[in-house]
């Protein structure tokens, strides 16, 4: 009986695994076409300076509108792109599109707006990464200081010596460097002082349950305190509610990103917000 059950379980899993493998293969095939067919596009999420209420930067986030399946989230297609190596052309497209958009905003009179672009491990470790970034900056005419590259802890911790060299190469070119999803990996702030990093992004998962979750509150507090003493800029991700904002503000977190302020949106939609200059009135941020 046990044997039979075992076999059934095995068959069940194998059928499910086949279906999944097939879905992945389908996605891989259509992702190859997606770039050429123009199915990928970028949305941009504002990053705010709390004191002034001004938008200091925007994070570019990739979207894929599949002709039959509709909108596919990056959690689904980025890992496939990474596994298959498609992340290289995809990442280059993201970088070029984001830099061109930032340059266009600058030309339209939005001064000093920084564009943040997510970089995957495969891109960062590619021998031609630096040249690609430089070429794109040249082509688009964007000031390197207005480009921020977001890297996760695991990317820079994978091969520390190589990572420090690549980061230094980027830094001497004046490119801004951020650690994304900070706190979820295996690095520590004291370790990060060896990296030429400009800022850290406090991971959404620690922001989600502050101020009520005592552990998360302690972690966020510790990150803010240490970032302060190491002279790193800090931005909190995933700020959705006023109580989160209040907690962060009290502990001198100056920059924030999250649905509370603005969702990621197409470039055309942001133009309207830029014309007002503020994402929210500063007064409205402080009250209560
Ligand atoms: P991420 O870089 O940490 O980006 C932040 C994610 O949090 C985005 O999800 C954003 O829409 C979401 N978010 C922002 N504010 C809030 C909030 O207040 N509440 C909640 N619940 N979520 C919020 P998205 O766009 O689905 O992207 C997911 C992940 O996919 C990104 O996480 C990033 O790791 C990856 N990704 C997206 N675009 C790219 C890309 O062009 N290249 C690479 N390599 N990865 C990308
Ligand atoms: Mg990011
Ligand atoms: Mg993040
Ligand atoms: Mg992430």
Q: How far does the centroid of ligand 1 lie from the alpha carbon of residue 191, in Å?
A: 25
DSSP 106: H
H/E run at residue 118: strand 114-118
Share of the chain above pLDDT 70, in %: 91
Q: What is the pLDDT of residue 28?
A: 87
259 lines ligand 1 (CB under 6 A): yes
Distance 131 CA to ligand 2 centre (A): 22
Q: Is the dihedral of CA 150, 61, 64, 99 positive or negative?
A: negative
Grouping H, G, I as helix, E, B as strand and the rest as coil, residue 144 is helix
pLDDT band of 45, cuts 50, 70, 90: very high
Give the Cα separation of 18 and 23 in Å (integer): 8
Q: Is the CB of 152 within 6 Å of ligand 1?
A: no
Q: Residue 255 forms beta bridges with which residues?
A: 49, 235
Strands (E), 127-275: 147-152, 176-182, 199-202, 233-236, 255-256
- pLDDT tens-digit readout, 91-139: 999 999 999 999 999 998 888 999 999 999 999 999 999 999 999 999 9
- Is residue 87 within 8 A of residue 120, CB to CB? The reply is yes
Residue of 61, 236, 245, 279 best suited for mutating to test ligand 1, as the one with most atoms within 8 Å of CB: 61
Residue of the CA atom closest to atom 45 of ligand 1: 118
> Span 130-155, mean pLDDT?
97
Task: Work out whether strand 40-49 and strand 255-256 pair parallel, antiparallel, or are unpaired.
Answer: antiparallel
């Amino acid at each position: 009986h046990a044997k039979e059950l075992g076999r059934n379980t095995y068959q069940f899993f194998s059928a499910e695994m086949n279906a999944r493998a097939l879905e992945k293969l389908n996605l891989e095939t259509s992702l190859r076409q997606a770039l050429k067919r123009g199915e990928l596009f970028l949305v941009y999420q504002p990053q705010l300076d709390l004191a002034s209420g001004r938008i200091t930067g925007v994070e570019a986030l990739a979207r894929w509108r599949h002709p039959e399946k509709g909108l596919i989230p990056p959690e689904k297609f980025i890992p496939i792109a990474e596994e298959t190596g498609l992340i290289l052309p995809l990442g280059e497209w993201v970088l070029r599109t984001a830099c061109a958009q930032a340059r266009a905003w600058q030309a339209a009179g939005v001064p000093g707006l920084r564009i943040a672009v997510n970089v995957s491990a495969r891109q960062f470790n590619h021998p031609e990464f630096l040249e690609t970034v430089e070429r794109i900056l040249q082509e688009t005419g964007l000031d390197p200081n207005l480009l921020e590259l977001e890297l996760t802890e695991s990317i820079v911790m994978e091969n520390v010596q190589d990572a420090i060299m690549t980061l230094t190469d980027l830094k001497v070119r004046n490119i801004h460097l951020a650690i994304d999803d900070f706190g979820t990996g295996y690095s520590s702030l004291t370790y990060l002082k060896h990296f030429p990093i400009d800022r850290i992004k406090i991971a959404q998962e620690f922001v989600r349950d502050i101020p009520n979750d005592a552990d998360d509150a302690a972690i966020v507090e510790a990150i803010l305190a240490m970032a302060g003493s190491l002279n790193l800029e800090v931005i909190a991700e995933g700020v959705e509610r006023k109580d989160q904002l209040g907690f962060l503000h009290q502990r001198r977190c100056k920059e924030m990103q999250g649905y509370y302020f603005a969702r990621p949106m197409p470039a055309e939609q942001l133009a309207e917000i830029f014309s007002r200059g503020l994402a929210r009135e500063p007064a409205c941020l402080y009250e209560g």
